[in-house]
Amino acid sequence: MQRYALLLAIMIVTISSFSIYFFRYNVPNSPYWDENYHIASAEKYLTGTFFFEPHPPLGKMLIALGEKVTHSNSDIDKSSFNNTDFIKNFPTNYSFFGVRLLPTIFAVIASILFFILIFTLTKSIIISLATWLFYLLDTAIILHFRGAMLDGIQITFSLAALIFFATLVQDKTKSYFWKMTFLGLFVGLAVATKLNGLYLLSLYLFLIPWKQIRHILSRDFCREIIAIFYSILVGCLVVLSIYITHLAITENIVDDRTYELDQTPIDIVKNGYKNPTDYLTMTVKYIEYENKYNTKVPALNLTSPTENGSPPLTWAFGIKPIRYRYDTNFVDTSYLYLTPNPVVWGIGLIGLILSISLIISKFLFKLEVVDKKLYKLITVFCFLYLSYMVPMFFISRVMYLYHYIPALVISIILFGLNLAYLRSIYRRRETIFTIVIALLIAMTVYVFCLYSPLVYYKKISCPELKGLEISKLWQMSCPTK
């Protein structure tokens, strides 16, 4: 019976996700935020033009694939894209259908994977659906993942990695080799999309058999350590293969755009890659370029009225939304505004606080753990949250609210895990539990409807926009003439 209920739930999740993400996904037919950069990079794959970029290649490759398979702009002259890393003026009648297609498909897949992950962790269809709905109806996630961006693609790979990790934590006896292989594969794909995916390496700490550390030379201990190194090696090979693929595709230097390379690597590109060491040399040069680029990005300047960035300490509170795009109608304006769904972000914050409180209570006050499996999972995801967020405080360049999305996703997972844990404690109060969840879902849906014009580029007046600003710290603003 549960199998049919699960299949029905997955059908609901798939249809709902498709509807939410694909509705008006091609609107506006104009670029927003980093699309100017990523579309320029994607086009270079289609023409084989040499370039380096501040992110690993995989995300732009997939954006280019969407453009390739749809032929959306096959009759438009896009040669100017090869001469720049930032497109200011798109050709007339340029269509964003292709370049946004793969990111949007990945966003749908990520939504489905999120549900599967929660079910894998909790084994409860009801809790999984409720937690997934909070994820689905976050306005910031929807807006950012529908564009020709990298984050939705990375989250998809991250969630896939977490699913295999969850199955490993719960049962190492079945398909151990394949689980470790796919864990390494998806961690590698996440890192090959954006480097901040490196936080996923902290998952391996929880696969080390710490209880057997005294028997470090035992067969079982060595077997699991070797498996961990094997999985990490798989990830490294995936990342390396993506960089090599990038180099193999982009061999034509246009207008002497050599990205500050010395003559030796320039000669390698011009003369063709003669041996494997050439690919390794250029991969190192690409990674060096990524590091140099990020060191040149300005630091956060909170005194500037045009600053879109915000400090990591404020991200959990939704500070501050970013106005990606707006039209020129100053009465009723259409916006793409990266704005959190306050209920969802509040739920994530509650999940984080509950998790930390539970862990502290266990260690300081010797609180009895009711469900040891769920407690372990809460500990793992709480550590994963910190593994992502703590490095953010040491990054000198300006960072933005959407950089919080991976941590937000983890916090929503933590809320779902705490729901399952509380349910195991208060089994006799199922009615109250159900009412609370229903109220949270109703609030989430209502607030989503309020903020949805900012996702779907629908007209809204300036007073209505300001009415959505739950704190002055959000600094939401209307366009001025």
Q: How confident is the model at residue 327 (pLDDT cuts 50, 70, 90)?
A: confident
Predicted local distance difference test score (pLDDT) of residue 368: 80
What residue segments make up the domains of the chain, in order of their start?
A: 2-296
Q: How far apart are the first and last CA of the chain?
A: 61
Predicted local distance difference test score (pLDDT) of residue 370: 80
Predicted local distance difference test score (pLDDT) of residue 211: 73
- Give the HSE-up count for residue 329: Cα atoms under 13 Å, Cβ half-sphere: 10
- Long-range Cβ contact pairs of 176-182 (< 8 A, separation 24 or more): 176/227, 177/227, 180/227, 180/228, 180/230, 180/231, 180/234, 181/230, 181/231, 181/234
DSSP three-state, residue 476: coil
- Mean pLDDT confidence for 79-99: 90
Q: How confident is the model at residue 182 (pLDDT cuts 50, 70, 90)?
A: very high
Residue with tokens 């106005």, as numbered in its chain: 323
Q: How confident is the model at residue 171 (pLDDT cuts 50, 70, 90)?
A: confident
**Triad 16, 109, 420: Cα angle to 5°:** 75
- Mean pLDDT confidence for 258-274: 86
Q: How confident is the model at residue 284 (pLDDT cuts 50, 70, 90)?
A: very high
pLDDT digits 0-9 by tens, 410-450: 999 999 999 998 888 876 677 788 888 899 999 999 999 99
- How far is the C-alpha of 240 from the C-alpha of 234, rounded, in Å? 10
Predicted local distance difference test score (pLDDT) of residue 330: 62
- How far is the C-alpha of 167 from the C-alpha of 110, rounded, in Å? 18
Whole-prediction pTM = 0.94
Q: CB-based contacts of 274: which residues, under 8 Å, 6+ apart?
A: none
- Mean pLDDT confidence for 317-330: 86
Is the confidence at residue 213, as pLDDT, over 90? no
DSSP three-state, residue 193: coil
**Triad 177, 178, 184: Cα angle to 5°:** 95
Most confident of 225-229, 266-270, 383-387, 432-436: 383-387
- What residue type is assigned to position 319 of the chain? I
Is the confidence at residue 130, as pLDDT, over 80? yes
Q: pLDDT averaged over the chain?
A: 91
Query: CA dist 26 to 45, 83, 218, Å?
Result: 22, 26, 57
Distance, C-alpha 35 to centroid of its chain: 16
- How far is the C-alpha of 184 from the C-alpha of 170, rounded, in Å? 18
Give φ, ψ of 332 to 5 degrees.
Answer: -115, 115
Q: How confident is the model at residue 1 (pLDDT cuts 50, 70, 90)?
A: low
- Mean pLDDT confidence for 209-230: 80
pLDDT digits 0-9 by tens, 295-319: 888 999 888 888 899 999 999 999 9
Concatenating the DSSP letter of every residue in 251-320 gives -B--TT--TT--HHHHHHHHH---SHHHHHHHHHHHHHHHHHHHHHSPBP-TT-TT-----GGGGGGT--
CA dihedral 58, 56, 85, 147 (to 10 degrees): 50
Concatenating the DSSP letter of every residue in 357-391 gives HHHHHHHHS-PPPS-HHHHHHHHHHHHHHHHHHHH
Predicted local distance difference test score (pLDDT) of residue 255: 85
- Percent of all residues in the chain with a pLDDT value above 70, rounded to a whole number: 98
Predicted local distance difference test score (pLDDT) of residue 314: 94
Predicted local distance difference test score (pLDDT) of residue 428: 66
- What residue type is assigned to position 304 of the chain? S
Predicted local distance difference test score (pLDDT) of residue 74: 86
Predicted local distance difference test score (pLDDT) of residue 433: 80
- How far is the C-alpha of 443 from the C-alpha of 449, rounded, in Å? 10
Is the confidence at residue 139, as pLDDT, over 90? yes
Phi-psi region at 367: left, alpha or beta (left = phi > 0; alpha = psi -120 to 50): beta
Give the other-Cβ count within 10 Å of 205's Cβ.
13
- Mean pLDDT confidence for 399-405: 95
Is the confidence at residue 215, as pLDDT, over 70? no
Question: In terms of DSSP bridges, do strands 322-326 and 459-461 run parallel, antiparallel, or are they unpaired?
Answer: unpaired
**Triad 204, 205, 206: Cα angle to 5°:** 90
pLDDT digits 0-9 by tens, 353-373: 999 999 998 888 777 888 889
Predicted local distance difference test score (pLDDT) of residue 365: 78
